[in-house]
Homo-oligomer: A and B are copies of this chain.
Amino acid sequence: MTDDPPFNPALLPAGFVDRLPPEAEAEAAGVETLMRVFAAHGYDRVTPPLLEFEETLLSGAGSAVAEQTFRLMDPDTRRMMALRPDMTPQIARIAATRLPDVPRPLRLAYAGPCILMASNRGEGDRQISQAGIELIGPDRPEADAEIVAIAAECLATLQVRGVSFDLTMPSLTTALLDTGGFDGQVRGTLMRALDRKDAAAVARHGGELAPVLIRLLHAAGPAHGALAELAAVDLPPAVRALSERLAATVAAIEARVPGIRLTVDPVEFRGWQYHTGVCVSVYAAGQREELGRGGRYLSNDDEPACGLTLRPDIILRAAPALPSRVRVFLPWGTPAETGAALRAGGYATVGALAPDGDARAEAVMLSCPLMVVDGQAVPVDGA
């Protein structure tokens, strides 16, 4: 037996962090901006709880993330509850059980923290921040296009540079393997090869489909080239229908957002567990992690839906810092109206709490570049 190490009061569990000034403010302001854009497009905010019974949280769309989920027992009912790892299944539940009679298309927005039991690859965040939209009811390329267009507007508003949207159609790969008659171990081997983008292994295990799969593997890239390649290969009808839906979605997005950077990866499927149609990942130049992701799925009661969840915590790393309020020191005795006028003008006022003390020194100590002298905010240096 070993003794416990001495306890460090500053230590947080891996994957959990304190956001300090100015990052905490920047993240909150970022979420406000996203929610404002969502609201301006008619997406009404809903706020589900952090915890639900595990049966509701992890059924349907939620079952995909069950392994990532912390559970705890409700002492009142002795039933297991779960801490949400993702808000989308909650929104699907609300749409089906709380808002079934609201006419469709139903547009909902949401923001809040989520908790993952284990970080990816044992590192990274376990508390993540989500802000997203779900568009419930229509099953059309124009609906998929609306969520991408709104996400693009969000990121433009936050001045994120080099944004691109990567579109995939996970069901296309599945349908292709179905038509090729792949199942069992061979199918698993082939899917791992596709996942690794390992053309040699795809050639080895792909049988008659190998030439098509390798062409599609190499087709990944800017949307038009990838779609041209998809159009040129000979696809079975069920797969062709999916590729045409993907092409129609690209066209609908480009019609709404001229100049948007779209890439397509026709045989990507990994990480899309409850999605049934076009999926999208959002990237920014120089940022390894996704800024958001979403796509088409079947909501509760098999209602068609699509949505996109942005990650304000990651967007923050890609967005330029916003100017914060300039701090003005109010020496003891400054009239209340003077402080109020400065606050109304966008300043942050920092009031003296005692009559004694050197006001100028206190202003400097409290990081105030300005202080009030004779009713006016003046630079501390020149005061």
Interface of A with B (CB < 8 Å)? 7, 9-14, 16-22, 24-25, 27-28, 32, 35, 39-42, 44-53, 55-56, 59, 70-72, 74-77, 79, 81, 83, 90, 93-94, 96-99, 103, 105, 107, 111-113, 115, 117-118, 122, 127, 138, 140, 142-143, 146, 256, 300, 325, 327, 336, 343, 347-351, 353-354, 365-366
Closest Cβ of chain B to A93, distance in Å, is: 7
Contact A11 B53 (CB under 8 A): yes
The distance in angstroms between the C-alpha atoms of A22 and B354, with both chains bound, is: 44
Cβ contact of A20, chosen from B51, B99, B107, cutoff 8 A: B99
Residues of B contacting A349 with CB < 8 Å?
40-42
Contact A336 B256 (CB under 8 A): yes
Grouping DSSP codes into helix (H, G, I), strand (E, B) and loop, the A interface class, with mixed when no group exceeds half, is mixed
Contact B53 A12 (CB under 8 A): yes
Residues of B contacting A52 with CB < 8 Å?
12-13, 16
Contact B142 A353 (CB under 8 A): yes
Closest Cβ of chain B to A227, distance in Å, is: 22
Closest Cβ of chain B to A308, distance in Å, is: 15
Show 30 residue pairs from A and B whose CB-CB distance is below 8 angstroms, ordered by the A residue.
A9-B59, A9-B96, A9-B300, A10-B97, A13-B52, A14-B76, A16-B49, A16-B50, A18-B47, A18-B49, A20-B46, A20-B98, A21-B45, A21-B46, A24-B45, A25-B44, A27-B47, A28-B35, A28-B111, A39-B325, A41-B343, A41-B349, A42-B348, A42-B349, A42-B366, A50-B50, A50-B113, A76-B122, A112-B113, A256-B336
